[in-house]
Structures are given as C-alpha cells and as structure tokens.
Amino acid sequence: MKKMILLVCLILCLPMMAFAQEKVEAPVWNVGDKWVFTGGRTIEVLKVDQNGYVVKFSDAICVIESQGFNTIVFEKSTLHRIYTLKGDKRKKYTMGLKKIFNFPFTPGKQWKDAYGARPLVGPTKGQISLDYYEIFKVSGWEEVGVQAEKFRAMKLEVIRGHDAVPQRWIPAYESKGLYWYSPDVKYFVKCQYDPSAVKDFPGEVVNWELTSFKVKK
C-alpha cells in the first residue's frame, strides 16, 4: 500500500518537477557583473539598489540594443527597462526592448509591447515619430555555441515593426531577431537578426555574440 501511494505521488509530482526545470526566474545581478560581446562591446552592472540594477552600455554597442542610451535601470523581478540615467537624473524608459526581458521565462510564453519613437537607424532615421509594435515569444531550449563557449540557452523570438505612413511615403516595416538567453551567463549570449535588418542598418553590428563574461554566482 505504501509503495502504491509513493508511486502515485511520484507520478503526480513529475509534471511539476519538469515544469520547474523549464521555468527560468530573473537572475540576480551584482555590481561588477560584465559581459563582453563581438567587437569588444560591453555591458556592465554599475550599481544595485532598491530601485533596480544600474547598467552601462559601452559607447560602441549596437544602438538597437542600447536604444541610444549609455545607462539604463532594470527592474529586479522582471528585468524590464524602467529608467534611463544621465548623471543623477532618471527618466522613464519609453523606447524599444523595454520588455525583452520579461521573467520568468517558460517555453511558449508570449507577450507584446508598443511604443512611439523616431527611428534610430535606417533610411527614415529621425524623420518622424512612428508607432512601433513588438512581439516576443520564448521558443524553448537550444544548445548554442559562441566565442565564449557552448551554452544551454532559451531561444527568444523578437518581432518589431510599424505600419505604413502613406502621407510621408514611409512603407510598413517588420524585422525578426533571435536572442539566446543563458541562465549560467545571466544574459543573452547571442543575437541574430534577419538579413533585411542587417541591410537596413549600415554601420551597426546587428548580429553579435558573447566573447567573455564575469558574473558573481
């Protein structure tokens, strides 16, 4: 009888154990955590307080990733981008990739975001404010090899676009990017956008990968 009860409990617990293994919670970042990417571009945690993580993007990093800001404050539980920081002045973050981190991550999870901004790159750079949409989806786990090493990572699909603006002769636009997040690294280890994005953003390192990192366990 005891063996039967134990077997039933095991059967009931297996799905929950499997789900727990698939679910990825927000990492804990620490001051000094640093990631180095293709071309020597860096992201580093400068400060941690009750308001979140203060993170610095190097000047040479792709504008698509930094959205034109050197310092961004990330909220702790989800890692949403909540403020930009210039000196001691904080300003609410209203640009793209605000919710590219949206923990916890689970395979199949989807979410959306929207924002209005002038294009940072491309043929319509700075011309007119456009209404962008972003669609995110966690595809699942993959083994991905980068310059740093090989990692087990969650693959994230990111679709960003805007509708046409006929009165300004601006066509509709949409691009797709793929990001791979590694819990061991506590950040993305690789990014790859579709060829159209690479073509439309001359001079930008749109596709990148991790070359080295230093994080506290």
Other beta carbons within 10 angstroms of residue 208's beta carbon come to 22
Q: What does pTM read for this prediction?
A: 0.86
On whether residue 12 sits in a domain, the answer given is no
Paired with 49 in beta bridges are 52
On whether residue 82 sits in a domain, the answer given is yes
Are 143 and 151 in contact by the 8 Å Cβ rule? The answer is yes
Domain limits for position 193? 27-214
CA angle 23-25-31, nearest 5°?
Answer: 155
Q: How far is it, in rounded angstroms, from Cα 51 to Cα 58? A: 22
Q: How many domains are contained in the chain?
A: 1
Backbone φ and ψ of 170, nearest 5°: -105, 115
214 pLDDT higher than 50:
yes
101 pLDDT higher than 70:
yes
By C-alpha distance, which of 84, 76, 79 is closest to 56? Answer: 84
By C-alpha distance, which of 105, 137, 138 is closest to 21? Answer: 105
On whether residue 173 sits in a domain, the answer given is yes
On whether residue 121 sits in a domain, the answer given is yes
Average pLDDT in the chain? 87
Q: Phi-psi region for residue 71, left (φ > 0), alpha (ψ -120 to 50) or beta?
A: beta
Q: How far is it, in rounded angstroms, from Cα 210 to Cα 190? A: 6
- Segment among 37-41, 51-55, 149-153, 163-167 with least mean pLDDT: 163-167
On whether residue 10 sits in a domain, the answer given is no
Which CATH number fits the domain that encloses residue 164?
A: 2.40.360
